[in-house]
Structure 1
Amino acid sequence: MGRLIGILLVIWLAIGAFAAFQRGYFEDTPSNCSETGDIALNIVAGPLNYTGLNPKVDCSDINVDTPEPSE
C-alpha cells in the first residue's frame, strides 16, 4: 500500500512539473519570491493544473526585517 502511494505521489508531482514546464516557468532562473512560489505551487497542484487551476503567489505582503549587526 505504501509503495502504491509513493508511486502515485511521484506521478502527481511529475505531472505538476510538466504543467509548470508548459507554462514556461523553467525558461530562466526565478528572480523573486513570486516566481519561485508559482513554480512550487504548480508542481504541488499536479494534475489540477489541467482543470483550470493556476496557482499564484503574492509576496508583496512579505516584509522581512533583517537584524543589524552588533557593534
Structure 2
Amino acid sequence: MRIGSVVVVLWLVIGLVAAAQRDYLNGKVEDCNTAATITVTILAGPLNYVGMNPKISCETPQPSK
C-alpha cells in the first residue's frame, strides 16, 4: 500500500512539473479548455515525456434566455 501511494504521488509530481514546463501554470485559467488541458497534463504524468501532449477542448453550457 505504501509503495503504491509513493508511485501515485511521484506520477502526479512529474505531471505537475510537465505542466509547469509548458507554462500552463502561469497566468489565470480563463476557460474550460485551459483547465481541462492542465488537469489532463498533470494526470498523464511521465507520459508527457514520451511524446504525449494532451489537449482538451470543451464547452460550458450557456444560461438560457
The structural deviation recorded for 1:64 is 1.5
Q: Secondary structure at the match of 1:11?
A: helix
Query: What aligned pairs does 1:31-46 form with structure 2 within 5 A after superposition?
Result: 31-46=30-45
Work out the CA distance in 1 between the residues paired with 2:38 and 2:60. Answer: 21
How many residues matched? 65
Greater Rg over alpha carbons, structure: 1
Work out the CA distance in 2 between the residues paired with 1:8 and 1:41. Answer: 18
The structural deviation recorded for 1:67 is 6.2
Assess, with a 3 A threshold, how the Cα gap between structure 1 residues 3 and 15 changes in structure 2: closer, same or farther: same
Partner amino acid, structure 1, of 2:9: V
Residues 11-53 of structure 1 deviation map (CA, whole Å, 9 limit, x = unaligned):
0000000000000001101100000001000000000000110
TM-score in terms of structure 2 length:
0.91
Partner amino acid, structure 2, of 1:64: P
Work out the CA distance in 1 between the residues paired with 2:9 and 2:48. Answer: 16
Runs of 4+ in 1 over 2 A off after TM superposition: 65-68
Identity %: 38
Q: Unpaired runs of 5+ in structure 1?
A: none
Q: RMSD between aligned alpha carbons?
A: 1.5
- 1:58 aligned residue: 57
